[in-house]
A and B are shown apart, each in its own frame.
Chain A
Amino acid sequence: MGGQWVQFLAGGLTAGAIYALVALGFSIIFNASRVINFAQGEFVMIGAMSAVSLVATGTPMPVAIAGAVLIAGVVGLMLERFAIGRARNADVVTLIIITIGASIFLRGLAQLVWDKRIHALPPLSGDEPIELFGATIVPQSLWVLGVTIAIVVALSWFFNRTLLGKAMLATSYNRFAAQLVGIDVRTVLFASFGLAAALGAIAGVLIAPITFTSYDAGIMLGLKGFAAAILGGLGSFPGAIVGGLVLGLLESLGAGYLSSAYKDVIAFVIILAVLFVRPDGILGALKSERV
């Protein structure tokens, strides 16, 4: 079958773009605070679930998406205000543990607010498969890939051209120095959670038609996104994209040519391997300046 590997590639790219979107959220918060936000997967879930319930009430799709992004963004801001911000002088490890607690809390909350069932969102432009070079993909995959690229462009504009973006970047390089030159580090942290949550929600809304969603959908997505972020180098946006795509491709090719039983193992072997061999990831900055 000559077309087989093309199909593996197509599947891998779709999954990879999903992981990349989640990984971007990890990087934004990591940059602003050195915290790995383990509630990132829950932001994705909240976005998707909000969109599902908005669509169920008859809201048109674009409004539902905007609403879902808004809801998740507010949840992200509240998480920073009531949990992370209050402990901002604590160790990074403490903050990371707080995000783990927050993720469990959000999952429990989602069970109460929504339900424990699995939901699907209607795709943005039908589900008639498209043939490409002997492989088939659903139009939604193109949406995921396209929006991922658009978000990367928007983010690089935001971080290089706007004051808040530059402030975030400055904080990521040196928090203390940033504070000295008058950057309100507190606001940067606040904004980064809102941004990461909104980004997570966009990912959630885009992928829900392909992968479905439920209150616990965030766990695996969060872990895979984390693996992608580690692989590409935490804090690096191009790294998040590359990490996500490489992870998706490895998983798909691994499932295709090795054994499908090991598909999930691949992500975690990658985390371990990268942490052993190249702790800063493929595109991670070498931290010589911090010595």
Chain B
Amino acid sequence: MKFTGSARTAFGLAATVLASALIGSGTVAAQEPIRIGSFLAVTGPASFLGDPEQKTLEMYVERINAAGGILGRKLQLFAYDSGGDAEKARTFAKRLIEQDKVDLIVGGSTTGETMAAVPLVEQAQVPFISLAGAVVIIEPVKKWVFKTPHTDRMACEKIFTDMNARKLSKLALISGAGGFDRSMRGECLKVAPKYGVEVVADESYGAADTDMTAQLTKIKGAPGVQAVLNAGFGQGPAIVTKNFAQIGLGLPLYQSHGVASKEFIKLAGNAAEGVRLPAAALLVGDILPDGNPQKPVVVAYRKDYEARHKSDVSTFGGHAYDGLMIAIEAIKRAGSTDRAKVRDEIEKTKGYVGTGGVVNMSPTDHMGLDLSAFQMLEIRNGNWTLVK
């Protein structure tokens, strides 16, 4: 018995040696794939973020593999559904790092998921490109964490810039109770003084509120109010817009980038006429002027996505596109998947033109977008128009 056993071991050893000799002789196809990890809110309340993100990642990983992969290696995507739950996101991040041994992570649909994974990736030293919005992800700068979407602070700044141009300075805020709404409200209050904007009213509404006329009537009575800004997404802003028209406030109304979708126009109907909002170039690719550097990128992404999935493109899928492309560019430049090298190269991303804007990262800026990433839109005749 013993003899047979050791004979078997010997045979096994020989086979292994032979096999590794064969691999050593260099067939590229047998190389390890590049392992890309992701956890996204594909189901649950934030599924409108995670669903297009996952579809986008899958589509482009497939496409890149069909074209031969990167550095002669195929991409392999490890994607998990966090359901928008931070606790699950943390578990999946751990699994990606320890079990799947991914080379980098592109994911995290919401700020909560992202922040839950941050301590893990920092400790394990894995490059992580988040697809979530809030400023806290990159401020203060975390060595291994990056993000692709613009922040709510930038949305506030874009709106205030537009207000300055229209010589409006007294603003009434109305915001929802959700995380996005409150974060944006906080950022707007913070940056308002920098733009000489005075907040004269600050109202809020619940997540499932069906009538905001009371809040808007109060705003109507606020002294000297010149413009109204609604920070929120979902059905709230559409109801605010309808009530706004019903009460006849007759002031300029700004919405946030959170409602930058055709659905908002459909829900709010005629009441949406004249509403202004900041939005990513992706939504308005076809009306961008020809010289805009983003135009070819966003038009191509939109065509790919809509042809494949038969559904309207969303900015969120675009964030995933940008995350994946920034990661791939960095791996190409690094010439390997060495985590430290890839991280350094992501940080050196310069002039990358994505769906979210032109990205110029630096050791102090792990997002790399400026206000030109946002377009100021006005709704006219049920469609977007660019505000010059």
- Please give the residue numbers on chain A whose beta carbons come within 8 Å of chain B beta carbons, in ascending order: 1, 4, 7-8, 10-12, 14-15, 18, 116-120, 127, 129, 136-138, 207, 210-212, 214, 217, 219-221, 251-253, 255-256, 260-261, 263-264
- The answer for the CA separation of A79 and B238 in the assembled complex, in Å, is 33
Residue of A at shortest CB range from B238? A212
Map CB proximity to A onto B231-273 as digits: 1 under 8 Å, 0 otherwise.
Answer: 0001100110010011110000000000000010011011100
Taking a contact as CB atoms closer than 8 A, the residue among B206, B217, B269 that contacts A120 in the complex is B269
Taking a contact as CB atoms closer than 8 A, the residue among B208, B246, B263 that contacts A136 in the complex is B246
Q: A129-B245, A138-B246 are in contact. Are A264 and B209 (CB under 8 A)?
A: yes
Residues in B with CB closer than 8 Å to A207 are 210
Residue of B at shortest CB range from A11? B213
Taking a contact as CB atoms closer than 8 A, the residue among A7, A116, A117 that contacts B213 in the complex is A7
Q: How far is the CB of A269 from chain B (nearest CB, A)?
A: 14
Asked if B217 contacts A4 (CB within 8 A), the reply is yes
Q: How far is the CB of A89 from chain B (nearest CB, A)?
A: 36
Residue of B at shortest CB range from A6? B217
Asked if A255 contacts B263 (CB within 8 A), the reply is no
Taking a contact as CB atoms closer than 8 A, the residue among A212, A217, A220 that contacts B267 in the complex is A212
- The answer for the CA separation of A55 and B234 in the assembled complex, in Å, is 22
- The answer for the CA separation of A97 and B177 in the assembled complex, in Å, is 29
Q: A116-B47, A127-B271 are in contact. Are A137 and B238 (CB under 8 A)?
A: no
Asked if A117 contacts B263 (CB within 8 A), the reply is yes
Residue of B at shortest CB range from A3? B217
- The answer for the CA separation of A118 and B233 in the assembled complex, in Å, is 11
Which of B205, B208, B245, B271: most chain A Cβ within 10 A? B208
B215 contacts partner chain A, Cβ-Cβ < 8 Å: yes
Taking a contact as CB atoms closer than 8 A, the residue among A118, A217, A261 that contacts B263 in the complex is A118
- Provide a sorted-by-A list of 19 A–B residue pairs whose CB atoms are within 8 angstroms: A4-B220, A7-B214, A11-B213, A11-B217, A18-B210, A127-B269, A129-B246, A136-B247, A138-B242, A207-B210, A212-B238, A221-B210, A251-B214, A253-B214, A255-B214, A255-B215, A256-B215, A260-B203, A264-B208
B8 contacts partner chain A, Cβ-Cβ < 8 Å: no
Q: How far is the CB of A216 from chain B (nearest CB, A)?
A: 8
- The answer for the CA separation of A7 and B211 in the assembled complex, in Å, is 12
Residues in B with CB closer than 8 Å to A117 are 48, 263
- The answer for the CA separation of A8 and B238 in the assembled complex, in Å, is 20
Asked if B270 contacts A127 (CB within 8 A), the reply is yes
Asked if B235 contacts A212 (CB within 8 A), the reply is yes
- Please give the residue numbers on chain B whose beta carbons come within 8 Å of chain A beta carbons, in ascending order: 47-48, 177, 203-211, 213-215, 217-218, 220-221, 234-235, 238-239, 242, 245-248, 263, 266-267, 269-271
Taking a contact as CB atoms closer than 8 A, the residue among B217, B270, B271 that contacts A8 in the complex is B217
Taking a contact as CB atoms closer than 8 A, the residue among B208, B210, B221 that contacts A210 in the complex is B210
- Chain A facing B: main interface SS: helix
Residue of A at shortest CB range from B205? A260
- The answer for the CA separation of A120 and B242 in the assembled complex, in Å, is 12
Residues in B with CB closer than 8 Å to A214 are 235
- The answer for the CA separation of A14 and B209 in the assembled complex, in Å, is 13
- The answer for the CA separation of A263 and B177 in the assembled complex, in Å, is 11
Residue of B at shortest CB range from A267? B206
Asked if B218 contacts A4 (CB within 8 A), the reply is yes
Taking a contact as CB atoms closer than 8 A, the residue among B208, B214, B238, B248 that contacts A220 in the complex is B208
- The answer for the CA separation of A263 and B218 in the assembled complex, in Å, is 14
Asked if A212 contacts B239 (CB within 8 A), the reply is yes
Asked if A263 contacts B246 (CB within 8 A), the reply is no
- The answer for the CA separation of A165 and B235 in the assembled complex, in Å, is 39
- The answer for the CA separation of A18 and B211 in the assembled complex, in Å, is 11
Q: How far is the CB of B213 from chain A (nearest CB, A)?
A: 4
Residues in A with CB closer than 8 Å to B206 are 263-264
Q: How far is the CB of A252 from chain B (nearest CB, A)?
A: 5
- The answer for the CA separation of A261 and B220 in the assembled complex, in Å, is 18
Residues in A with CB closer than 8 Å to B239 are 210-212
Q: A118-B263, A118-B267, A260-B203 are in contact. Are A129 and B210 (CB under 8 A)?
A: no
- The answer for the CA separation of A11 and B239 in the assembled complex, in Å, is 13
Asked if B210 contacts A15 (CB within 8 A), the reply is yes
Known: A8-B214, A118-B234, A256-B214. 11 other contacts (CB 8 A): A11-B213, A11-B214, A14-B211, A116-B48, A127-B269, A127-B270, A129-B246, A210-B242, A212-B238, A214-B235, A219-B208
Asked if B211 contacts A210 (CB within 8 A), the reply is yes
Q: How far is the CB of B270 from chain A (nearest CB, A)?
A: 7
Which of B206, B210, B221, B271: most chain A Cβ within 10 A? B210
- The answer for the CA separation of A214 and B207 in the assembled complex, in Å, is 13
Residue of A at shortest CB range from B209? A263
Taking a contact as CB atoms closer than 8 A, the residue among A10, A116, A217, A260 that contacts B218 in the complex is A260
